[in-house]
């Protein structure tokens, strides 16, 4: 996983609530057996007409946001399915952070496994950042995971909370599986105990 | 000892290790796998030379992509779908996990196959790279969806890194009125809490109306816990649960069964245990419901009218306007005036035998409306076989329905079963997102009986009126 420490970039405003995983990456693109290449179809049905041409007023099609690295969105971002294709598509497009008042559970977790930082902020802060983002490429927002702050283009800084373990893994690009495998002895002894308590499992 | 909820008890029994910050390594008893969210996980194992730690606890079945037309044995799968299904065939074989291939009569939607084969049992932790894993909570097991990275983590270590969620109680008191089903309960709850209302919680459904449901109905209720944002939904096991499990191929037998039963009977929420959030709904207050918008929280009783964006506040105003435009509906219009051209009965929400019975009871001796395209997609090959034996298949065929093979089908339209732009479907599945059933397709979620009623009349219909006519 790519490390994440600090990022300054353009933020795309998406002031919609309940942006679901079917919007982020429609199912016809889930037929892949790879992780890469999904960025081309990120938000496909909102971004492209049936004939493949771009829908001009969709935010990521506007010149200012074509290279956006951050999304600012309404509540409950990422609701719906567990498909990790959603963060893969965001990442492949170049998005490294999403700021919203709330996220769906599974999506939130999936982001951390892929080097995307989901940031929960109170509504007034999201509104302020949304306004900032609306100013386009002139307004670059900074996300600092080490300091746990987001800084708007006017220099105003807002703190955010993040789970310490998730932060640690992300800042160091650590692979969970490797870490857990080091605990094999504990898993062995759990299994030994469980096989006497609940042998039918 | 402190009074604990059912969720607390299952959690406590599965903690392998707890870190100082509360992060736990949680042991996973059953890992279900399907073809769409697993290929990258197996690829990860191969790249790192890792093995599946507990293949005997890992079960795979292809369901999302598979065609449901009768000719599927002779190909009929498009190239990309075939690659995914072939990859699962190969991965199941290479890693030595239990497998139900497309050719096996036991194949079906993973959340229907698990309980049917006795893989899902009370008190277990169950995960799958699929959000509707919540279904298995109907057995009093802690079941939730995970992403592909976590699939790989469970394959390699049989554990998950988790933090405990909060406890939420949803109590449905009293009894349901005639014409009201488990689907109406679960959709009414989402209408009440919103799609984010359960975020961070594990829901325990309880109360008389839940007790009175069959296991099938309980699975329908838990299935949509995720639509309410909850990590999982649970129902305490009881005699109905034990009766359902008994004799299933992978359920314990003999002395092991007795030992299991003793343990399962301890799985209930203690008197006085703490819930962080409680919702109570009277069973008698629940009506047959449908969705009108593009979020599962857009629920109304069938007697209602389409709302206006101005009826809402905050971010929902824009979202509702967008929904109404997408759905092609006008505020104030009666829900029963909404015309339907497609009916889909199936999915892990409502693709079990009882669902087919409920739909067939409405359809018996009737014909679907002219020009209607209607299909039944049983949740598994065994459900299909049973429906044929009971004569349900013939009722569907006589009414004008297509009678398909098992799979996810038009629930998410990854196979060729899709809506065309502007087509409007009454569906027994669980999601009405934009494009869910095909780009530009419009979905109204409802119960199997209500779907059958709409197939006959050609518009959304109050099943209670149809029942009154029949008397
Ligand atoms: S039936 Fe629908 S919701 Fe259920 S597993 Fe299949 S695609 Fe998912």
CATH of the domain at A161: 3.20.19.10
Residue bearing the CA closest to ligand 1, atom 2: B411
| B210-221 per-position pLDDT tens digit | 999 999 999 999
| B164-190 per-position pLDDT tens digit | 999 999 999 999 999 999 999 999 999
Binned at pLDDT 50, 70 and 90, residue B410 comes out as very high
Whether B404 shows a pLDDT value over 70: the answer reads yes
Whether B402 shows a pLDDT value over 70: the answer reads yes
In the numeric block, which tokens belong to residue B423?
């087509």
* pTM of the model as a whole: 0.94
Round to whole Å and give the CA distance between B222 and B203. Answer: 9
The predicted pLDDT at position B73 comes to 74
The predicted pLDDT at position B471 comes to 62
Closest CA to B324 of B292, B290, B302: B292
Give the H/E segment covering residue B169.
Answer: strand B166-173
User: Which residues in chain A touch residue B431, judged by CB atoms under 8 angstroms apart?
Assistant: 22, 80
Over range B100-117, report the average pLDDT: 97
> Are residues B324 and B306 in contact, defined by beta-carbon separation less than 8 angstroms?
yes
Q: What is the mean pLDDT of chain A?
A: 94
**Residue A45 belongs to a domain:** yes
Buried b (16+ CB within 10 A) or exposed e, B231-266: bbbbbbbbebbbebbeebebbbeeeebeebbeebee
Binned at pLDDT 50, 70 and 90, residue B64 comes out as very high
Find, in chain A, the residue whose alpha carbon is nearest to that of B87. A33
Binned at pLDDT 50, 70 and 90, residue A23 comes out as very high
**Cross-chain Cβ contact A31/B156 below 8 Å:** no
Over range B274-292, report the average pLDDT: 98
State the best of A16, A33, A73 to mutate against chain B, taking most chain B CBs within 10 Å. A33
Whether B283 shows a pLDDT value over 90: the answer reads yes
Mean pLDDT lowest among B78-82, B266-270, B310-314: B78-82
> Are residues B142 and B124 in contact, defined by beta-carbon separation less than 8 angstroms?
yes
| B356-371 per-position pLDDT tens digit | 999 999 999 999 999 9
The predicted pLDDT at position B19 comes to 92
The predicted pLDDT at position B74 comes to 74
**Residue A79 belongs to a domain:** yes
CA B21–ligand 1 middle distance (angstroms): 35
Who has greater pLDDT, A28 or B92? B92
Over range B30-59, report the average pLDDT: 96
**Cross-chain Cβ contact A33/B39 below 8 Å:** yes
Q: How far is A201 from chain B (nearest CA, A)?
A: 7
- Pocket lining for ligand 1, CB < 6 angstroms: B 63-64, 109, 111, 130, 132, 347-348, 408, 411-412, 429-430
Residue ranges making up the domain that contains A32: 6-197
Rounded to 10°, the helix A105-112/B148-157 angle is 70
| B306-328 per-position pLDDT tens digit | 999 999 998 899 999 999 999 99
Number of domains composing chain A? 1
**Residue A1 belongs to a domain:** no
State the best of A31, A111, A161 to mutate against chain B, taking most chain B CBs within 10 Å. A31
**Residue A182 belongs to a domain:** yes
Q: How far is A157 from chain B (nearest CA, A)?
A: 24
The predicted pLDDT at position B79 comes to 86
């Amino acid at each position: 996983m790519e490390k994440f420490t600090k990022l300054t970039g353009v933020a795309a405003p998406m002031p919609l609530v309940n942006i679901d995983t079917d919007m982020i990456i429609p199912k016809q693109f889930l037929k892949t057996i790879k992780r890469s290449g999904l960025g081309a179809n990120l938000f496909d049905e909102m971004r492209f007409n049936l004939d493949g041409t771009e829908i001009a007023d969709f935010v990521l099609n506007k010149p200012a946001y074509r290279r956006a690295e951050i999304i600012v969105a309404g509540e409950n971002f990422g609701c719906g399915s567990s498909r990790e294709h959603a963060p893969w598509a965001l990442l492949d497009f170049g998005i490294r952070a999403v700021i919203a008042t709330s996220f769906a559970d599974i999506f939130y977790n999936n982001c951390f496994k892929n080097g995307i930082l989901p940031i929960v902020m109170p509504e007034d802060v999201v509104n302020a950042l949304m306004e900032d983002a609306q100013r386009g490429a002139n307004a670059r927002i900074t996300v600092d995971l080490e300091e746990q702050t987001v800084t708007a283009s006017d220099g105003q800084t807002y703190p955010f909370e993040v789970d310490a373990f998730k932060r640690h893994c992300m800042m160091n690009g650590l692979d969970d599986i490797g870490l857990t495998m080091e605990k094999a002895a504990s898993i062995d002894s759990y299994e030994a105990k469980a096989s006497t308590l609940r042998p039918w499992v | 000892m402190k009074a604990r909820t059912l969720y607390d008890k299952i959690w406590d029994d599965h903690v392998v290790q707890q870190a100082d910050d509360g992060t736990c390594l949680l042991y996973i008893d059953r890992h279900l796998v399907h073809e769409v969210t697993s290929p990258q996980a197996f690829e990860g194992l191969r790249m790192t030379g890792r093995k599946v730690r507990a293949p005997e606890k890992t079960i795979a079945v292809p369901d999302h992509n598979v065609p449901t037309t009768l000719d599927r044995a002779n190909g009929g799968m498009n190239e990309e779908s075939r690659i995914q299904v072939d990859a699962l065939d190969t991965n199941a074989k290479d890693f030595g996990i239990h497998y139900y291939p497309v050719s096996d009569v036991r194949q079906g939607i993973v959340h229907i196959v698990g309980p049917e084969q006795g893989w899902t049992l009370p008190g277990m932790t169950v995960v799958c790279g699929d959000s509707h894993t919540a279904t298995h909570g109907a057995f009093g097991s802690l079941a939730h969806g995970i992403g592909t990275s976590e699939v790989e983590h469970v394959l390699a270590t049989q554990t998950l890194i988790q933090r405990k969620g909060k406890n939420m109680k949803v109590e449905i008191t009293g009894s349901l009125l005639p014409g009201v089903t488990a689907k109406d309960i679960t959709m009414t709850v989402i209408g009440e809490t919103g799609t984010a209302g359960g975020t961070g919680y594990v829901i325990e459904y309880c109360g008389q109306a839940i007790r009175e449901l069959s296991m099938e109905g309980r699975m329908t209720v838990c299935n949509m816990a995720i639509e309410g944002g909850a990590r999982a939904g649970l129902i305490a096991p009881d005699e109905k649960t034990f009766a359902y499990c008994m004799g299933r191929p992978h359920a314990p037998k003999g002395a092991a069964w007795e030992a299991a039963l003793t343990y399962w009977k301890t799985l209930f929420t203690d008197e006085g245990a703490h819930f962080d959030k409680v919702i109570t709904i009277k069973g008698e207050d629940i009506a047959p419901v449908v969705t009108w918008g593009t979020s599962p929280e857009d629920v109304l009783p069938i007697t209602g009218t389409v709302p206006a964006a101005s009826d809402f506040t905050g971010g929902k105003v824009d979202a509702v306007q967008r929904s109404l435009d997408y759905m092609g509906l006008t505020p104030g219009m009666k829900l029963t005036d909404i015309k339907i051209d497609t009916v889909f009965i199936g999915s892990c929400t409502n693709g079990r035998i009882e669902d087919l019975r409920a739909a067939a009871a409405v359809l018996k001796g009737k014909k679907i409306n002219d020009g209607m395209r209607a299909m039944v997609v049983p949740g598994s090959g065994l459900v299909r076989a049973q429906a044929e034996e009971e004569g349900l298949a013939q009722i569907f065929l006589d009414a004008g329905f297509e009678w398909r093979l098992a799979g996810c089908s038009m629930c998410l339209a990854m196979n060729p079963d899709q809506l065309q732009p502007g087509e409007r479907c009454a569906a027994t599945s669980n999601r009405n997102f934009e494009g869910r059933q095909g780009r530009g397709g419009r979905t109204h979620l409802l119960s199997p009986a209500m779907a059958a009623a709409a197939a006959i009349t050609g518009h959304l219909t109050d099943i209670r009126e149809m029942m009154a006519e029949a008397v």
